[in-house]
Structure 1
């Protein structure tokens, strides 16, 4: 069993009220939660990492609950993404540990969510930023929800840490007008349309 002690949790929310053009009917909410944890695999090669994904599932659920609360509740959350920044003593594959615990935690808590959870990961020094891709929770082809949220924690990750990140949003980009599949057309059958 791998242990991932938490050094800190950071929650960020944005209320986007304008982006040029006419005033929108209401703001768009976007948020991120970051857990900065000790990397139990830093500085060494471990051939089999997959079991550690199970060890991270409680963290994924706790972060999901925290982010849903920060966004004012589950109602209206229709976009998500995830990512990780791995400190320099780790390897990119340590960020890939987040695929199952981060993605499935959001799907479990948000209910009907069929689309793949967009993901990004990188190695980085303290203060590194990462753009977490965001997509619609039920249909990957909904262009109005293609977005990214830049996330950074000034003192993380230290070389032997990982910053695990979840992002969610309520609503499309302000003034989205690039066509494609619209939310009211989503069938939600295959995660694409």
Structure 2
């Protein structure tokens, strides 16, 4: 199996005090952990790429911890999450899809009980490509207050033979959410949906 070669990591933290309306009692926080790795499959077609998912697990666990630490170190305050990848132009979108399993399970394993699927996105792009990482509630995908996205990117990544991997976590929903629907206090927590 290929060794995971990390060129750099970056943690982005956003604290939202208000969105033009009344300030919440506690500001919302959103963290993104990013890692730029060498793409072992760049420039070639490899049929069996599945083993690399297992290799990504330690990095995914480290990145989940980076998000939690950036939010203050308490995993119990995490309410939203998402993941994504940008594959450099010598790779293919399927190489970014290798992040689905290790990235998602690393976050789910590092926070309190979570039932909801971890939303994801991926694309192929040049260095500096930005990507919107979708965010939903960790325990119920239909909680509208937590439908969100976090835009991330690194100016010099991914280079053609690299992949930019991203995990995001939030401490709550949108500051002034008021479009109705299921709220976090009404979650049943049975199936990851409601």
Q: Establish whether TM, by shorter chain, passes 0.5.
A: yes
Corresponding position of 1:133: 134
Gaps of 5+ in 1: none
Corresponding position of 1:57: 57
Q: Deviations over 1:132-180 (max 9, x none)?
A: 0000000000000000000010010000000000000001101111111
Deviation at 1:111, TM superposition (A): 2.9
TM-score calculated relative to the size of structure 2: 0.98
Corresponding position of 1:101: 102
Cα distance in 2 for partners of 1:53, 1:188 equals 28
Alignment of 1:11-22 (within 5 A): 11-22=11-22
Q: Does 1:34 align with 2:15?
A: no
Gaps of 5+ in 2: none
Cα distance in 1 for partners of 2:133, 2:101 equals 16
Deviation at 1:191, TM superposition (A): 0.3
Deviation at 1:188, TM superposition (A): 1.1
TM-score calculated relative to the size of structure 1: 0.98
Corresponding position of 1:156: 157
Q: Deviations over 1:53-76 (max 9, x none)?
A: 111011100111111111102121
Corresponding position of 1:23: 23
Aligned residues: 193
In 1, are the aligned partners of 2:83 and 2:120 still within 8 Å (CA)? yes
Deviation at 1:51, TM superposition (A): 1.2
Cα distance in 1 for partners of 2:76, 2:110 equals 11
